[in-house]
């Protein structure tokens, strides 16, 4: 007996609402996101590499990185991991925020809403895509900085965990910002007044141990600090905080952001008429 389109749609809706995952759909969305950023690789991969190398050169010349050290570690070796993870985080954020914003502004978000994808599949596809872009950018940067400063993994597990956890956190924040923003000006405000200050005040270019007590205590509430500090620890075997506390903080933040984004997508927050 033939099944009508309405019956098929009802069955599909019941399956999704019952918690079954459309893995093929999530994979399709993920591959679309990956192909999207690889198609403009000069902007998404080459651009961050050039920016990071310029940061490395400028700080080396301005601060005197050859002779200066931080906690007994040459300044450039201390600086490079922080610049790498910063670029990874910015790329993960940019991928999800730009993807959802362009879909909303161009009106193509309706095409996505008509697919058999629930909130979980949408979260998985977008977050995995943003995380992949961040990891790709990070891998290229690790190779690119080697002629200028040799950095080698000391604690590979911490490097991998913090790279993934930081990119997931930023991809979720990008998705959250993209859902909230109604135009690109709103998204720019989030980037300029939230993301950039948290990034630059997270110990990327310095050790937070040198901060005055008040600002040091404030830095302990910045999740970006734990992402950068733990990633750097994996390369130089030195951390400004308890790395296990950082692991817990990132897991809690990622979990909370996932729940928030999932709930907003399930409600169709600012994407459904």
Q: Where are the domains of the chain?
A: 23-267
Q: Is the separation of the CB atoms in 92 and 130 below 8 Å?
A: yes
Closest Cα to residue 58, out of 38, 41, 83? 83
Query: Angle, nearest 10°, between helix axes 75-106 and 47-63?
Result: 140
Other Cβ atoms less than 10 A from the Cβ of 207: the count is: 16
- Which H or E run contains 109? helix 109-113
φ, ψ for residue 209, nearest 5 deg: -65, -20
- Residue 107: per-residue pLDDT: 85
Q: Is the separation of the CB atoms in 135 and 172 below 8 Å?
A: no
- Residue 179: per-residue pLDDT: 93
- Residue 65: per-residue pLDDT: 52
- Residue 13: per-residue pLDDT: 45
Going residue by residue through the chain, which has 273 residues, state the pLDDT in tens, using 9 for 90 and above: 344 444 444 444 444 443 578 899 999 999 999 999 999 888 888 888 898 888 888 877 776 555 677 778 888 899 999 999 999 999 999 999 999 999 998 888 888 888 888 999 999 999 999 999 999 999 999 999 998 889 999 999 999 999 999 999 999 999 999 999 988 888 888 888 888 888 888 888 888 888 888 888 888 899 999 999 999 999 999 999 999 999 999 999 999 999 999 999 999 898 887
Other Cβ atoms less than 10 A from the Cβ of 188: the count is: 11
- Residue 215: per-residue pLDDT: 80
SS (HEC) of the chain: CCCCHHHHHHHHHHHHHCCCCCHHHHHHHHHHHHHHHHHCHHHHHHHHHHHHHHHHHHHHHHHCCCCCEECCEEHHHHHHHHHHHHHHHHHHHHHHHHHHHHHHHHCCHHHHHCCCCCHHHHHHHHHHHHHHHHHHHHHHHHHHHCCCCCCCCCCHHHHHHHHHHHHHHHHHHHHHHHHHCCCHHHHHHHHHHHHHHHHHCCCCCCCHHHCCHHHHHHHCCCHHHHHHHHHHHHHHCCCCCCHHHHHHHHHHHHHHHHHHHHHHHHHCCCCCC
């Amino acid at each position: 007996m033939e099944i009508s389109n309405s019956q098929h749609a009802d069955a599909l809706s019941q399956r999704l609402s019952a918690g079954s995952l459309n893995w093929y759909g999530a994979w399709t969305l993920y591959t679309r996101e990956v192909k999207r950023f690889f198609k403009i690789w000069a902007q998404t991969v080459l651009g961050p590499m050039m920016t990071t190398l310029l940061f490395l050169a400028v700080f080396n010349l301005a601060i005197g990185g050859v002779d200066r050290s931080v906690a007994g570690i040459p300044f450039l070796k201390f600086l490079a991991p922080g610049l790498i993870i910063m670029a990874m985080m910015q790329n993960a954020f940019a991928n999800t925020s730009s993807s959802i914003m362009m879909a909303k502004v161009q009106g193509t978000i309706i095409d996505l809403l008509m697919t058999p994808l629930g909130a979980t599949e949408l979260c998985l596809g977008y977050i995995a895509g943003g995380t992949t872009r961040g990891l790709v950018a990070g891998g290229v940067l690790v190779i690119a900085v080697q002629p200028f400063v040799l950095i080698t993994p000391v604690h590979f597990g911490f490097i991998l965990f913090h790279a993934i956890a930081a990119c997931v956190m930023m991809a979720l924040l990008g998705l959250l910002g993209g859902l909230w923003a109604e135009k690109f000006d709103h998204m720019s405000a989030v980037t300029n007044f939230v993301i950039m200050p948290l990034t630059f005040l997270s110990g990327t270019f310095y050790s937070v141990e040198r901060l005055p007590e008040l600002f040091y205590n404030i830095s302990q509430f910045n999740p970006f600090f734990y992402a950068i500090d733990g990633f750097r620890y994996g390369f130089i075997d030195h951390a400004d905080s308890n790395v296990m506390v950082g692991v817990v903080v990132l897991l809690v933040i990622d979990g909370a952001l996932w729940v928030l984004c999932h709930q907003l997508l399930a409600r169709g927050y600012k994407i459904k008429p």
